Structure 1
Amino acid sequence: MIRALACVLALIAGKATAVTCNDATFDGHSFTACTVDATTEDLRLFHRDASGQVLGGWNALSTQIAPQSLAFAMNAGMYHDDRRAVGLFIKDGVETAPLVTQKGPGNFGLLPNGVFCLTDTSARVIETLAYDRQRPACRDASQSGPMLVIGGKLHPRFLADSPSVHIRNGVGTSADGHTAIFAISNDPVNFHTFARFFRDVAKTPDALFFDGSISRLYAPALHRADFGFAALGPMVGVVQ
């Protein structure tokens, strides 16, 4: 745990050059965390190309942004079988899927869930009902769930001994909205362990689950490009 704390906290303290990705060990599990300075880096959400086709993966995303390149990318929210976003999705100020506030099935409906909200200079995780009250001006936004950490506290439904373990990925944000930390577990973990990584290691007061099982990371600095046969829905990435 000490190694993980030193590694990830060093990322938060220092200025990131585009994206800083490191592996860390916490509670006997392996994680990879990528830190982005949202005040200076070009952090965006992606879903479809100019013709409306779902991008689905790193190759299509890289083609979409050429001649610029990806410094980092990750799947960033749940989707239906046809790759439509399950909850709110906003790209460049245009809402293509509405906010969902009611309780529902699956992890997305395990309230409270939340919204990952980006502006040109900030990144924030906001609980869904708080987002609905505030309606902040997000340039890009993706709703997912459940929340992992809410105001420094773990989601109340998480159990330390839960046998439900999967590869999981998500995002946590600093209180000032300046830093986003994206993490993926490299071996199966339950929600309780994954949430504690954000609370106790990344030290993010708010964190949001993106998905499990299909979780993927593109991190060229680590020579990593996770592959899967199923196309992805919403994605997040840093363009450089």
Structure 2
Amino acid sequence: MPQPFPPARRLPQLLAAGLFAFIMFVVVAAGAAELRQYRYQQININTCTIDLQQDTLRMYWKDPAGQVFGTFSALRNWLRPQGKEVVCATNAGIYDKERRPLGLYVEGGVALRKLNTRRDAYGNFYLQPNGVFIVEEGRARIVDTATVDRDRDRWLSQAVYATQSGPLMLRNGEINAAFDPGSINLFVRNAVCIDPAQKVILAIARNPISFHDFALFLRDRLRCVDALYLDGNISRMYPSLEADIGPAFGAIIAVVKTADK
């Protein structure tokens, strides 16, 4: 089983009390998937909370003709003739210049990209430990890459959808010890996390934030136990005003519903 991170440095309690001042706004509840907006340290953070017992969570990369969707609008236009609508969506991790997932990618139970076990490379994907967001029948997991690598057959046989990215932000409630509380490395970032009730939460900081502060938000406000970083400045979430503004990306995580529900 994955092991917790080594204990990270903790902020003094009084300082933390000042930092964790949140104002929360419920934007809309779209069926069981709940969309919210938070205000945290002058940063706007949007979330979509997903109950896998009620919501339909999918990943999309290419259409049947082999064309990468790349944008939420392209995915929506493809789903609508099928009587489906996108409730919420975000980009599903780091990709290469051809918009191919940089690591493991499973769609509909089929592994379309292999597990990437390289460690000695530049970029957030390789910041250790990295990991995989795995959707099984009725549940989801975030598992570090080394654990998946040790028993690939088991994990791949259970995965209906999966995307590999990095770094892990939370593991068993512990913040990645590589994150510096005083970091000035601030970027727009998005992540996926899982709370104790086994709900999946997609989250995006729409203003620049550090890895450490984003992990604090995911743990202390959203109560997530495990969390995986997805990507940086290219990241967007649907619905939002800027959802369809910006460069195309690789795969997409989306909650979909039939149009008449």
Distance 1:88 1:228, change over 3 A: same
Q: Which residue of 2 aligns with 1:147?
A: 168
Aligned match for 1:83, one of 95, 99, 119: 99
Equivalent residue for 2:117?
101
Q: Alignment RMSD, CA only?
A: 2.0
Select 1:17's aligned residue among 27, 31, 35: 31
What is the CA–CA distance in structure 1 between the aligned matches of 2:123 and 2:48, rounded to whole Å? Answer: 27
Tell me the alpha carbon deviations over residues 100-156 of structure 1, each in whole angstroms, 9 at most, x when there is no partner: 122121000001011111123112211111222343211010000011111111111
The 1-side partners of 2:226 and 2:199 are apart by 12
Q: Structure 1 CA distance, aligned partners of 2:194 and 2:188? A: 21
Deviations for 1:21-58, whole angstroms, at most 9, x for unmatched residues? 11112234221111110122100111000111100111
State the alpha-carbon separation in 2 of the partners of residues 37 and 231 from structure 1. 28
| 1:40 match: secondary structure | coil
- Judge conservation of contact 1:18–1:238 (CA < 8 Å) in 2: no
| CA drift at 1:224 | 3.8
Shift of 1:7: 6.5
Sequence identity percentage: 34
Letter in 1 for 2:77: T
In the other structure, the counterpart of 2:224 is 204
Q: CA deviation at 1:175?
A: 4.0
1:71 alignment partner in structure 2: 87
| Among 106, 129, 143, the residue aligned to 1:126 | 143
Residues 173-212 of structure 1 mapped to structure 2, 5 A cutoff:
173-175=194-196, 178-212=198-232
What is the TM-score of this pair, normalised by structure 2? 0.82
Conserved? CA contact 1:115–1:143, under 8 Å: yes
Q: Which SS does the other structure have where 2:122 is aligned?
A: coil
Count of aligned positions: 230
- How far apart in 2 are the matches of 1:39 and 1:225? 30
Gaps of 5+ in 1: none
Looking at structure 2, the residues matched to 193 and 226 of structure 1 have their Cα atoms a distance apart, in angstroms, of 23
Q: Relative to structure 2, which stretch is displaced further, 101-110 or 84-93? A: 101-110
> Counterparts of 1:208-227 in structure 2 under 5 Å?
208-219=228-239, 224-227=241-244
Q: Which amino acid aligns with 1:227?
A: D
CA separation in 1, counterparts of 2:137 and 2:241? 27
Q: Give the structure-1-normalised TM-score.
A: 0.89
Q: Determine whether 1:236 maps to 2:253.
A: yes
Q: State whether residues 169 and 182 of structure 1, in contact with CA within 8 Å, keep that contact through their aligned partners in structure 2.
A: yes
Query: What residue ranges of structure 2 are gaps of 5+ in the alignment?
Result: 1-19
- The equivalent of 2:5 in structure 1 is none
CA separation of 1:229 and 1:2: change in aligned 2, threshold 3 A: closer
Instruction: Please say which structure displays the higher CA radius of gyration.
Output: 2
Conserved in 2, the CA contact under 8 Å of 1:16 and 1:35? no
Q: What corresponds to 2:67 in structure 1?
A: 53
Aligned 8 A contact 2:35 2:47 in 1: yes
| Residues 122-131 or 42-51, more deviating | 122-131
1:110 paired with 2:127, answer yes
1:38 to 47, 52, 57: 52
| Distance in structure 2 (CA, Å) of the matches to 1:200 and 1:16 | 25
- Partners of 1:39 and 1:210 in 2: CA distance: 24
SS at match of 1:84: coil
Question: In 2, distance between residues paired with 1:52 and 1:227?
Answer: 21
Q: Aligned partner of 2:256: which letter?
A: V
